[in-house]
Amino acid sequence: MTKRIFLGMLTPSSNTALEPLTSAMLAGLAEVSAHFARFKVTEISLEAGALGQFDQQKVLEAARLLADARVDVIAWNGTSAGWLGLDADQRLCERITAETGIPATTSTLALNEIMLKSGRTAYGLVTPYLDAIQDKIVANFARHGLKLVAERHLNICVNFDFSEVSETLLETMIREVAQMKPQCITTYCTNLRAMRLVDRLERDTGIPIYDTIATAVWKSLRIAGVDARRVEGWGSLFQEAF
């Protein structure tokens, strides 16, 4: 009997995009399934209340619930490290593993790894976020050797509303960023419905597109010992050899 593989995903409470998209990406892997635990996130801004949503104790409570399902990995499927700093995600992963014994990763740490290992450090950025959040992301990425080439954002702060952004608008934003010829583009928010565009737009533009829902899946599969190349039709990321 093939061993079942369980991927644990920590999910913002108001997110409606990442769960169906994650499950769709994994549909061709019969032994792999994704399991989700939510914690409260409704607003993305630099206000104290919004920042407090990412208090590690709240996230750890959700991680402990995933541990009950004996998952093989726990991923924070969110992008808060973009404005809180990548060290915040490093500390979170360390605490999750210390408390549950389960290896941990995040969308942002996986994205950073992909960009550095591939040498695609001159990037395009597409998000729904506020100006101040976008500026924080660019500054934090720069500290890790990543250079912004072009960006588009929508100045939205309500997390639920991110999933209401149409694929048509997302495609326009991605194509506008692609015109500046970055080495890669990231659709950086795990409540955007961009993933179904990735395979086609990569072919059209010739530029790899790293969606942060996909980066969490990619790294989780690798940690769990599953060949990510078995995920087909969801962009070039899953076929990378590094």
CATH number at residue 129: 3.40.50.1860
Q: pLDDT digit of tens for each residue in the chain (242 aa)?
A: 579 999 999 999 999 999 999 999 999 999 999 999 999 999 999 999 999 999 999 999 999 999 999 999 999 999 999 999 999 999 999 999 999 999 999 999 999 999 999 999 999 999 999 999 999 999 999 999 999 999 999 999 999 999 999 999 999 999 999 999 999 999 999 999 999 999 999 999 999 999 999 999 999 999 999 999 999 999 999 998 77
| Domain of residue 94, CATH code | 3.40.50.12500
Residue 121 CA to residue 60 CA, distance in Å, equals: 31
With H, G, I as helix, E, B as strand and everything else as coil, classify residue 32.
Answer: strand
Residues 30 and 117 placed together within one structural domain of the fold: no
Residues 166 and 89 placed together within one structural domain of the fold: no
Domain extent, residue 184, equals 113-211
Residue 174 CA to residue 180 CA, distance in Å, equals: 10
| Whether 210 contacts 201, CB under 8 Å | no
Neighbour order of strands in the sheet with 184-187: 147-152, 122-126, 184-187, 209-211
Residues 152 and 87 placed together within one structural domain of the fold: no
Residue 241 CA to residue 2 CA, distance in Å, equals: 25
Residues 136 and 78 placed together within one structural domain of the fold: no
| Whether 106 contacts 215, CB under 8 Å | no
Residues 220 and 200 placed together within one structural domain of the fold: no
Tell me how many domains the chain contains. 2
Question: Does the reported pTM lie above 0.95?
Answer: yes
